[in-house]
Structure 1
Amino acid sequence: MSQDYRTTKTTVSLLNYHFVFCPRYRRKVLIHEVETHLQQLVQEICLEHDWNIVAMEVMPDHVHLFLNVLPTDSPTEIMAKVKGITSRRLRQHFEHLNHMPSLWTRSFFVSTEGNVSSETIQRYIENQKKRG
């Protein structure tokens, strides 16, 4: 059971957040090229901000994102950056997404690792598409 501990000059931390966020009206627009482009964008954003992706699964009407982050990054700031950047870039790239007033809902779900292990959350996310 390996954990990814993050180290700064004065802090050693293990902060893992499980995010779930949805397109506006829970529309099933995260498919085909949109899904692929969204995954690439999230990877770029996370790399730029030094967030480690433990697991990510894009479903047609929602996204599961399990991140390991530094304590200086709040869940609200993380979601604001992820949703803001992906919304703008996806809507620039895929014209059919512009008919929606905004790509993402204003809300999101977040939980910390807590009593559930990282492996359990990762397995849950990875098995989302296998469910019938």
Structure 2
Amino acid sequence: MMNDYRRTKTTVSLINYHFVFCPRYRRKIFLNTKLEERFKDLVQEICGELDVSNVAMECDKDHVHLFLNTPPTLSPADTMAKIKGVTSKRLREEFSHLQHLPSLWTRSYFVSTAGSVSSETIKHYVENQKTRG
């Protein structure tokens, strides 16, 4: 799915994002394997609701990597708000040792675009458009 174009009546798109985010105070919450499994299930559920394809997901003890393919109507900020908001609420409800926390995640995150064509290739293509027939 990583290099499959999304097609609608009006758009063709390939938008892949790499997200990284952490629990507040870099708590090592993913040492608990049940919590990690539940987090991954919740992310899959949210991705289904948002029409987002989860290309890859990995949890280290104190941070998460997500590689997602999104529709063009969904911004990275909206994607993160939904994932972090829902997972924070549900995990704090379901795991008693997290209930006292006002929020599970930091407000910050890292996001980078990722695709099958390098920036240099696109730059070269754009610069050479005037020279074409």
TM-score bucket of the superposed structures, by smaller chain: 0.7 to 0.9
TM-score, normalization by structure 2: 0.82
Percent of pairs with identical residues: 64
- How far apart, in 1, do the equivalents of 2:100 and 2:26 lie? 14
Aligned to 2:18: 18
Counterpart residue identity of residue 10, structure 2: T
Contact 1:4 1:68 in 2 (8 A): no
Q: CA RMSD in A?
A: 1.4
Counterpart residue identity of residue 67, structure 2: F
Shift of 1:8: 1.5
Counterpart residue identity of residue 15, structure 1: I
Runs of 5+ consecutive residues of structure 2 not aligned to the other structure? 120-133
- How far apart, in 1, do the equivalents of 2:27 and 2:4 lie? 34
Aligned length: 115
Structure 1 residue ranges, 4+ long, deviating more than 3 angstroms after superposition: none
Moved more, 63-72 or 96-105: 96-105
- How far apart, in 1, do the equivalents of 2:8 and 2:63 lie? 33
1:32-71 correspondence to structure 2 within 5 Å: 32-71=33-72
Q: Which has the larger radius of gyration?
A: 2
- How far apart, in 2, do the equivalents of 1:102 and 1:88 lie? 8
TM-score, normalization by structure 1: 0.83
Contact 2:92 2:101 in 1 (8 A): no
1:49-128 correspondence to structure 2 within 5 Å: 49-113=50-114, 115=118
- How far apart, in 2, do the equivalents of 1:57 and 1:91 lie? 20
Runs of 5+ consecutive residues of structure 1 not aligned to the other structure? 117-132
Shift of 1:26: 0.6
Could you give the per-residue CA deviations for residues 86-120 of structure 1, whole angstroms, max 9, x where no partner exists? 0000000001012333100000000001539xxxx
Could you give the per-residue CA deviations for residues 73-92 of structure 1, whole angstroms, max 9, x where no partner exists? 00000000000000000000
SS of residue paired to 1:99: coil
- How far apart, in 2, do the equivalents of 1:96 and 1:28 lie? 12
Counterpart residue identity of residue 86, structure 2: I
